Amino acid sequence: QVQLVESGGGLVQPGGSLRLSCTASGSIFRIDIMGWYRQAPGKQRELVASINRAGRINYVDSVEGRFTISREGAKNTVYLQMNSLKPEDTAVYYCNVVLATVTDNNYWGQGTQVTVSS
């Protein structure tokens, strides 16, 4: 079992910034991918950003140029720096980890609320 602990969510004004962090612990052998998803009310969960163990990164188009994902592999920690936040970024953000194992390899955090509002 792997546990993911997220922090950094909150309420910010449009144009503001937040940094999310997620640390994995437990039965970790090797992490393949760490990423962030989000889910707004009435919408499906979407991938926001991910980074693999080689450092390759992808972003959803709507956050390109505003969000930055990074990781500290030795700490099993992933960050999401969110700048120039917009109201449409409001969602519950979930940390996701995929282990480099054939089974029992996909884990989710409990989610942290990000609200962008005046």
Residue 85 DSSP class: -
pLDDT tens digits, one per residue of 88-113: 999 999 999 999 998 989 999 999 99
What average pLDDT does this structure show over 35-39? 98
Write 101-107 long-range contacts (CB < 8 A, 24+): 101/29, 101/30, 105/32, 107/2, 107/3, 107/4, 107/24
Give the contacts of 5 (CB within 8 A, at least 6 positions apart). 22, 23, 25, 109
Answer whether residue 29 shows pLDDT above 90.
no
Task: Give start and end residues of each alpha helix (H) in the chain.
Answer: none
Place of tokens 């393949």: 32
Q: Kindly report the average pLDDT of the chain as a whole number.
A: 96
Phi, psi of 87 (to 5 degrees): -55, -35
Q: What is the pLDDT of residue 73?
A: 80
